[in-house]
Structures are given as structure tokens and as C-alpha cells.
């Protein structure tokens, strides 16, 4: 069982690679956005907390997100966890480390998908064009203007994690600009060595 964090700015391909790992290695993708949406309608005590905060227009606290992750970590019968979209801050990284330790789990690798910011804008525009051509709705955040704001937020809040995990010896950098299969092969190589 391997537990990893996928790091990289929006549009880097984290979701695509996580989906591949779920299919190929029976890993569980822990996407905080998906977990919050699922918790809101779950009827559990944690779900009621999430719903109350979101319904009031508030931001979900780190403690709630860690609680949701803790619930997921209790699941068995899989090939490990992929943390996607969490942690986003140094405080969350410390909380995740403490949670994994309490559960007797380890973090096997932090994989950063290294990408070119200019090329990312091109990817986002292309994704929006493909959605329009296929008659699908375009994501609200798939515009160059909104994407720039998301990119700035990533570098301000999340990029410090790169140094944090590098100092711990957990960080592995992969060329996120390579084609999807090459990126998947690089990630597989990291997991096989971990």
C-alpha cells in the first residue's frame, strides 16, 4: 500500500494521473472537493457539520477536512491513498503528517508535476474549446483570467509545500509537460521504488 501526495498548479494533470492510479493500482483518490460534496449529503455527523458551514457560506476548517480524511483512512482493501488538493498549506501538511502517524501510516512520496505556466494557460483554453466543441459545459474557472488568479493562489499558498517536502526528503519532481503516458510511467517508477 502506497500513500502519495500529488502537487502541482491547476491544470498540471493531477486529476488525470490520480484517475489512472485508481484504475491501475486500486488506490483511493482523496480529493477534498469531492469529499466535501459527498459528506454534505451523507447524513453523518461530519456531513452535517460540513453542510452547516457550507450552507452558511463559510469556509470549511482544516479540522473538518482532517476529520473527513481520517474517516477515509479507516477504509481498507485498497492499494493506498492519493492526496489530491490536500494539503494546501504548511499547517495542513503538519496536520496530515500527524494524522498518518496516528493511523500507523506513512507518506511514501510527494510527487510534484513540474509544468510551464504559459503552457498551462494554453491547456486550460484548449480544455474549454474542447468542451464547447463537444457540447459540454465549460468549467467556470477555464478562462485565462480566472486561471491566472488560481495560479497566483497556488504559488502563494501551496508552493511552500515544495520546500517543506523537499527538506523531508519526500519530494520527487516529474516533468508534467510530457505526454500523459510518460507522466504516468514516471509516477509508476516512483511508486515502484517507494
Name 144's Cβ contacts closer than 8 Å, sequence gap at least 6. 121, 124, 125
70-101: pLDDT as tens digits: 988 888 778 899 998 789 889 999 999 999 99
Question: Can 150 be counted among the known catalytic residues?
Answer: yes
Question: Can 25 be counted among the known catalytic residues?
Answer: no
Question: Can 37 be counted among the known catalytic residues?
Answer: no
The set of cell numbers assigned to 73 is: 483512512
Q: Is the pLDDT of residue 2 over 70?
A: yes
The pLDDT > 70 percentage for the chain reads: 98
Q: Is the pLDDT of residue 162 over 90?
A: yes
- Model confidence at 131, pLDDT cuts 50, 70, 90, reads confident
The DSSP code sequence of 152-189 is: HHIIIIITHHHHHHHHTT-EEEEETTS-HHHHHHHHHH
Q: Is the pLDDT of residue 171 over 70?
A: yes
pLDDT of residue 5: 96
Range with the poorest average pLDDT among 47-61, 99-113, 177-191: 47-61
Name 155's Cβ contacts closer than 8 Å, sequence gap at least 6. 9
- Model confidence at 128, pLDDT cuts 50, 70, 90, reads confident
Q: How far apart are the first and last CA of the chain?
A: 10
Per annotation, catalytic residue among 48, 103, 139, 168: 139
List of domains in the chain:
4-193 (3.40.50.300)
pTM of the model as a whole: 0.83
For residues 176 and 71, the model is more confident at: 176
Question: Can 88 be counted among the known catalytic residues?
Answer: yes
Per annotation, catalytic residue among 14, 40, 49, 123: 14
Amino acid at each position: 500500500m502506497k500513500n502519495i501526495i500529488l502537487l502541482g498548479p491547476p491544470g498540471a494533470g493531477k486529476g488525470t494521473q490520480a484517475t489512472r492510479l485508481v484504475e491501475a493500482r486500486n488506490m483511493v483518490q482523496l480529493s477534498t472537493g469531492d469529499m466535501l460534496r459527498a459528506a454534505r449529503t451523507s447524513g453523518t455527523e461530519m456531513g452535517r457539520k460540513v453542510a452547516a458551514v457550507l450552507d452558511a457560506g463559510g469556509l470549511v476548517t482544516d479540522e473538518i477536512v482532517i476529520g473527513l480524511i481520517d474517516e477515509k483512512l479507516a477504509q481498507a482493501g485498497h492499494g493506498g491513498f492519493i492526496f489530491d488538493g490536500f494539503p494546501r498549506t504548511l499547517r495542513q501538511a503538519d496536520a496530515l503528517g500527524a494524522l498518518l502517524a496516528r493511523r500507523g501510516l506513512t507518506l511514501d512520496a510527494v510527487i510534484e508535476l513540474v509544468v510551464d505556466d504559459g503552457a498551462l494557460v494554453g491547456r486550460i483554453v484548449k480544455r474549454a474549446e474542447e468542451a464547447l466543441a463537444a457540447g459540454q459545459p465549460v468549467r467556470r474557472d477555464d478562462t485565462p483570467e480566472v486561471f491566472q488568479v488560481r495560479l497566483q493562489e497556488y504559488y502563494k499558498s501551496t508552493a511552500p509545500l515544495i520546500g517543506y517536502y523537499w527538506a523531508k526528503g519526500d519530494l520527487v519532481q516529474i516533468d508534467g509537460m510530457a505526454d500523459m503516458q510518460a507522466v504516468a510511467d514516471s509516477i509508476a517508477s516512483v511508486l515502484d521504488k517507494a
